[in-house]
């Protein structure tokens, strides 16, 4: 045992606060150990003042009242803290608030998403109107005709309408050909010379043909008495430009992928822009294939087909 533990036992012995068996053990140890008996007397002398009734110290006046007052203040402070804690947000309150916010989010997020999609559709329609204005200026210079897609040669793809507009400085920028909601939209409209100089580099030509139309598709024209006619004349109520049709590699899309298959904006030859939630229009005319279900020029003047930038008026097997 250490001296500190011995002293504690001795103090307990002197104050008669030990258990009977502990007290007996101390007495047996005191009989055997003279040093412990000597230490007992030292401890007795140290604690002797505690047994005196009068310590010779005057108690300050009002000590009792001040002590009670401090105790009262402490209790009041404890009650105030408890009151403050109870007035704060409880777990149940927080849980209810979180539930309400979750419900509001469930209702609001779809509405916000729909507003964003609607904004993108309107922005897209505005771009088509800009292109419609460019077509109008072109038609003024070409006896009411819109850009013509050839049936052969390097300029036989639908996206060449953009090259023709660019050559006449009718495109404010290539970016007007990008739908704001099209994913990974890329556009590069070459000049006539740039395109002609690239004809011996087939891979680059294919790259240009896919990109020159941007996010939009153009009319592949129609057949007229065995001959290919170009896009409809201005003032016609036939479609001439629309959001890009789904490509062969877009099997999940029925409508244009520009707007997540929700539909497509369509520019008509008379300058009108309409949102079509389905690729069919008029008397069940399909916007993206002709009456024989081919991505090719229409079989007659009432059969209009919008092709992707790289699409040609005739399927490759027809050449």
Q: Strand pairing of 222-224 and 264-268?
A: unpaired
Q: Tell me which of 99-103, 114-118, 306-310 is least confident.
A: 99-103
- Provide the residue ranges of all domains of the chain, joining segments of one domain with +: 1-47, 118-318
Selection from 237, 258, 239, 236 nearest residue 247 by Cα: 258
Q: What is the pLDDT of residue 49?
A: 59
Residues 44-80 have pLDDT tens digits of 776 665 555 444 555 566 655 665 565 556 555 554 5
Angle at 230 (CA atoms; ends 225, 233), nearest 5 degrees? 105
**pLDDT value at position 124?**
94
Cβ-contact 261, 254 below 8 angstroms: yes
Q: Could you report the per-residue pLDDT of 215-261, keeping only the tens digit for each?
A: 999 999 988 888 888 877 777 889 999 999 998 777 778 999 999 89
Model confidence at 129: pLDDT above 70:
yes
The pLDDT score that the predictor gives to residue 89 is 59
Give residue 66's pLDDT.
Answer: 60
In a 13 Å sphere around the CA of 302, the CA atoms on its Cβ side amount to 6
* Residue 279 reports pLDDT greater than 90: yes
Mean pLDDT of the chain: 81
Among all chains, which residue has been given the structure tokens 């007992």? 40
Nearest to 164 by CA among 140, 176, 141, 148: 148
pLDDT at 319: 42
pLDDT of residue 51: 52
What is the phi/psi pair of residue 309, to 5°?
-55, -35
- Residues found in the chain: 319
What pTM was computed for the model?
A: 0.65
Average pLDDT over residues 266-284: 91
């Amino acid at each position: 045992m250490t001296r500190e533990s011995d002293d504690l036992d001795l103090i307990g012995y002197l104050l008669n606060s030990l258990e009977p068996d502990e007290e007996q053990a101390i007495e047996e140890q005191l009989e055997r150990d003279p040093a412990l008996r000597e230490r007992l007397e030292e401890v007795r002398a140290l604690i002797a003042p505690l047994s005196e009734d009068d310590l010779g110290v005057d108690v300050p006046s009002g000590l009792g009242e001040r002590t009670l007052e401090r105790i009262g203040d402490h209790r009041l402070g404890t009650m105030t803290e408890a009151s403050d804690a109870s007035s704060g947000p409880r777990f149940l309150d927080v849980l209810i608030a979180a539930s309400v916010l979750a419900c509001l989010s469930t209702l609001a997020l779809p509405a916000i998403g729909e507003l964003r999609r609607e904004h993108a559709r309107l922005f897209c329609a505005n771009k088509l109107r800009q292109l419609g204005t460019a077509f109008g200026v072109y038609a003024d210079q070409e006896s009411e005709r819109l850009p013509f897609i050839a049936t052969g040669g390097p300029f036989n793809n639908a996206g060449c309408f953009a090259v023709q507009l660019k050559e006449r400085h009718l495109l404010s920028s290539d970016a007007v050909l990008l739908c704001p909601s099209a994913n990974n939209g890329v556009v590069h409209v070459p000049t006539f010379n740039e395109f002609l100089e690239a004809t011996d580099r087939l891979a680059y030509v294919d790259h240009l043909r896919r990109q020159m139309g941007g996010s939009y598709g153009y009319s592949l024209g129609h057949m007229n008495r065995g001959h290919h006619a170009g896009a409809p004349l201005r003032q016609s109520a036939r479609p001439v430009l629309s959001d890009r049709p789904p490509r062969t590699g877009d099997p999940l899309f029925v409508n244009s992928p520009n707007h997540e298959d929700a539909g497509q904006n369509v520019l008509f030859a008379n300058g009108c822009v309409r949102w079509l939630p389905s690729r069919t229009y008029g008397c069940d005319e399909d916007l993206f294939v002709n009456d024989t279900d081919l991505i090719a020029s229409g079989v007659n003047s009432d059969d209009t087909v919008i092709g992707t930038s790289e699409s040609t008026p005739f399927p490759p097997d027809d050449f």
